[in-house]
Structure 1
């Protein structure tokens, strides 16, 4: 089963919740040494996908996606039927049809719910409105199949990655866009092939009040499409230019019904795509942190202590930059203490060769005044690590190594001896 990036992150969150509940069972079903990925995030994603295959979670996820697509089709059909029915309800009124009544029925519910969404829905931490109804139905169907655990992990995932608001917006505005578009197209079709008459009908409003309301409604269509307002006459009089009244009504539906929802849905889609591309696993959370440390320990036990195949007699030379600006902190290979408090200038973890060289290139171009390198004391002080530290030393005025004990400090003494030998400042955390 080909998984999207969203689904992989979703499975990682699902697995994190399982690790918290029963870590021994999860470790028994999957050995940490089986992970081959390089970065902590890739390791967590790889482990989550493989465990999901063994535990049958991928089958549950496939059922979830099938139900989601089915509900999407059902809601889309409901929106289309509602839009068609709204236009038919307006045009089935005894003629001449009241323009005020037609505008109110076609536009007022949509506009009121749009305002309600802006004021209330964006502040909710859970799905609401059309999204809430769909989410509730999907959750109930999943729980009947005994697959309710995916629901909580999905909600946690979209909240962590700030995807809930754009997802809610896209679903809600997509539903109303279909409804408004169906109403608009139905209106155009009926007005194109049938003869209708219109009037400015009212019982309690005077002509001046109707004129003011009509001009207010026409302000935006006139601005966008140069729409001409049908002349406001006595409420008992039928408009002589039914063609102009029909065109004006369709332009009002397009302006106040279709366009706002289309723009909102498009904006939500752009935000959703952008945030999906920016997704990062919070490896410091409970469950993730323990797995990352266990994987690092398993890989360290199964690898050679010194993988540097270079000339053992070549000693790294620690020479420092003569100028620099800024204080920065970086973790080498992985962060052993996920609860550590770091400064605002923390640059994250550099694990791959490309990341390490990119960091050297950055500071070579703009040297720093001080650079702290956090190193897990359970990693071996091999020649390649010391050479990399020497490369970083050349890009900063002051290099400080922070030896992080973590859960194990197997090589703390060896690190201290090596750093003392080269005269590198260090602290033990």
Structure 2
């Protein structure tokens, strides 16, 4: 039985949407075993749907695809973070240069903040004009995450995620958290590089113009520096600003005043807005993610209500045949079972059952033949899994898909399983080709088998 503790609530919601989208496009899945296990666990309908999705996704590969996608997303985020850090470094180097020429303060300011402010304005416009604003960086991250995942089973993951997030309008906040986080990292890298360069090189600062007057630059400098001044950053006085229009002032106090103004402007208009928006997006993301629920009114979930939380058990054909049949699989129950059980599967009436007295502690489940007997047995084994299970099969019959699927389900209900291929009755012989088919099919399922009665193994756990 699947352990839900290994998955987060968000992942279970995501997988539920993925399975729903998959069934809408490809038709109902073969879910009899999963539904039976879910019914045995109980719980509300939403919990049962999520548990069913977890079981089916681990069986069919969506769970593994989700892990691959998350791994690709982390690698994509790491690559973008490295790119953002180096971009901030490049912005600072471009703004100040190597110190051989005076720094034009407004050119430097444009180099440090221009692209950041343009992208910020674009994000705010997208937020106000569209329902979900991903931003260029967000779309790049989604594309890169999908490329790095490289899993064919992940085809429905991204559409299901976007559909689920759009119900709470979380796409803008989730991708906004990523976008503002990357820009905050770039601005922090630029600020750190700027401080390092100002601490190790001597820069002179000037402003230049041809058509504007000096009073315009004085007013602009003081207006831009007003907010940083409230945080304690130095604001150049009028005389210093006016003098810097003629040439770089050689005094140390002038250089320090302009350097503090530039650092304060970068911090207040570059780094702080991105950090505040990142915290806003984080708050909206966390609160919205906590409010995510399955929309049980959707047709895909409505069809599951009777199967997972039935008013009464129904007989006959419940659903159309699935578009694709999954291959039978073996396995074992991860829970610790108790006791030993022997059963026969679709045996001829001429065979005596049980085949002699059974050892102490070994229970007889009888011969299972009808659909109702199978259902009752599987329901019982789901609730009370045995430690050892031996299944007697008649190798004269063909190992068809239904028989192999049932053997796999029975094996997954016990801690350990063995298949007993019964010897032929006196005067009869086995078809070697059919016996080889059994060996090949059981080998594919990974189930140990033999032609001798496994009674000693059932009693003691060894041969």
Structure 1 residues 265 and 210, CA gap change in structure 2 (3 angstroms): same
Alignment of 1:342-357 (within 5 A): none
CA distance, structure 1, for counterparts of residue 268 and residue 203 of structure 2? 22
CA distance, structure 2, for counterparts of residue 147 and residue 249 of structure 1? 48
Mapped contact 1:169–1:265 kept (Cα < 8 A): yes
Match of 2:171 among 149, 153, 164: 164
Structure 1 residues 74 and 268, CA gap change in structure 2 (3 angstroms): same
2:12 is matched with 8
**Structure 1 range deviating more: 209-218 or 219-228:** 219-228
Task: Give the CA deviation at 1:202.
Answer: 2.8
Structure 1 residues 24 and 272, CA gap change in structure 2 (3 angstroms): closer
Task: Give the CA deviation at 1:226.
Answer: 5.1
Which stretches of structure 1, 4 residues or longer, exceed 6 Å deviation after superposition? none
CA distance, structure 2, for counterparts of residue 5 and residue 33 of structure 1? 19
Mapped contact 2:168–2:292 kept (Cα < 8 A): yes
1:233 is matched with 242
1:347 is matched with none
Mapped contact 2:57–2:63 kept (Cα < 8 A): yes
Task: Give the CA deviation at 1:140.
Answer: 4.1
Mapped contact 2:104–2:208 kept (Cα < 8 A): yes
2:106 is matched with 100
TM-score by length of 2: 0.61
CA distance, structure 2, for counterparts of residue 79 and residue 134 of structure 1? 13
2:231 is matched with 224
Alignment of 1:291-370 (within 5 A): 291-297=304-310, 300-301=312-313
Task: Give the CA deviation at 1:100.
Answer: 1.0
Structure 2 unaligned spans of 5+: 315-463
Structure 1 residues 33 and 11, CA gap change in structure 2 (3 angstroms): same
Match of 2:288 among 266, 270, 275: 275
TM-score by length of 1: 0.66
Q: 1:89 and 2:94 equivalent? A: yes
Could you report, residue by residue, the CA deviation over 1:66-117 in whole angstroms, capped at 9, with x for unpaired residues?
A: 1000000000000000000110111216421111111111112212211111
CA distance, structure 2, for counterparts of residue 222 and residue 169 of structure 1? 29
Task: Give the CA deviation at 1:286.
Answer: 1.7
Could you report, residue by residue, the CA deviation over 1:33-71 in whole angstroms, capped at 9, with x for unpaired residues?
A: 633231111111111111111111111111101100000
How many pairs were matched up? 301
Structure 1 residues 229 and 37, CA gap change in structure 2 (3 angstroms): farther
2:142 is matched with 135
Match of 1:288 among 291, 301, 304: 301
Query: The residue matched to 1:38 in structure 2 has which SS?
Result: coil
Could you report, residue by residue, the CA deviation over 1:164-210 in whole angstroms, capped at 9, with x for unpaired residues?
A: 11112101101110000000011011111221111123333220111
Q: 1:179 and 2:183 equivalent? A: no
Match of 1:17 among 21, 25, 33: 21
Structure 1 residues 96 and 24, CA gap change in structure 2 (3 angstroms): closer
Match of 2:212 among 172, 181, 205: 205
Structure 1 unaligned spans of 5+: 303-429
CA distance, structure 2, for counterparts of residue 294 and residue 301 of structure 1? 9
1:390 is matched with none
1:74 is matched with 79
CA distance, structure 2, for counterparts of residue 188 and residue 226 of structure 1? 14
